[in-house]
């Protein structure tokens, strides 16, 4: 028997959003996979809202696209940087 997983971030794709910006293009590399039991509310848990891309304003450089990376290039670091990916989250309810 196959168990299906739902990629909760994919609904953001038509909005042109992404978690990783590379080569002038947004990508949805970061995912939260939800089991079929959560999707159909048979597990005792349910999704409590849409998946979110978090900390965009906190992790970005004003007037630049994408997150402020801590690794600029080999051997060069931005001590105020974070990551080259934005974090994702989802709420679950019992």
Distance CA 52, CA 8 (A): 9
Phi and psi at residue 59, to the nearest 5°: -95, 5
Residue-level pLDDT at 55: 93
Q: How much is the pTM?
A: 0.79
Q: 66-80, pLDDT tens digit by residue?
A: 898 888 777 888 888
Residue-level pLDDT at 93: 92
Distances, alpha carbon 52 to alpha carbons 28, 32, 48, 78, in Å: 12, 10, 11, 26
For the chain, the domains span 5-93
Within the chain, which residues score under 50 in pLDDT? none
Residue-level pLDDT at 71: 82
């Amino acid at each position: 028997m196959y168990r299906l997983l739902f990629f909760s971030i994919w609904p953001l794709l038509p909005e042109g959003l992404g978690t990783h910006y590379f080569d002038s293009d947004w990508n949805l590399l970061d995912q939260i996979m939800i089991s079929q039991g959560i999707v159909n509310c048979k597990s005792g848990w349910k999704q409590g809202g849409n998946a979110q891309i978090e900390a965009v304003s906190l992790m970005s450089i004003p007037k630049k696209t994408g997150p402020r990376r801590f690794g600029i290039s080999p051997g060069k670091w931005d001590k105020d940087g974070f990551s080259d990916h934005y974090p994702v989250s989802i709420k679950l309810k019992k």
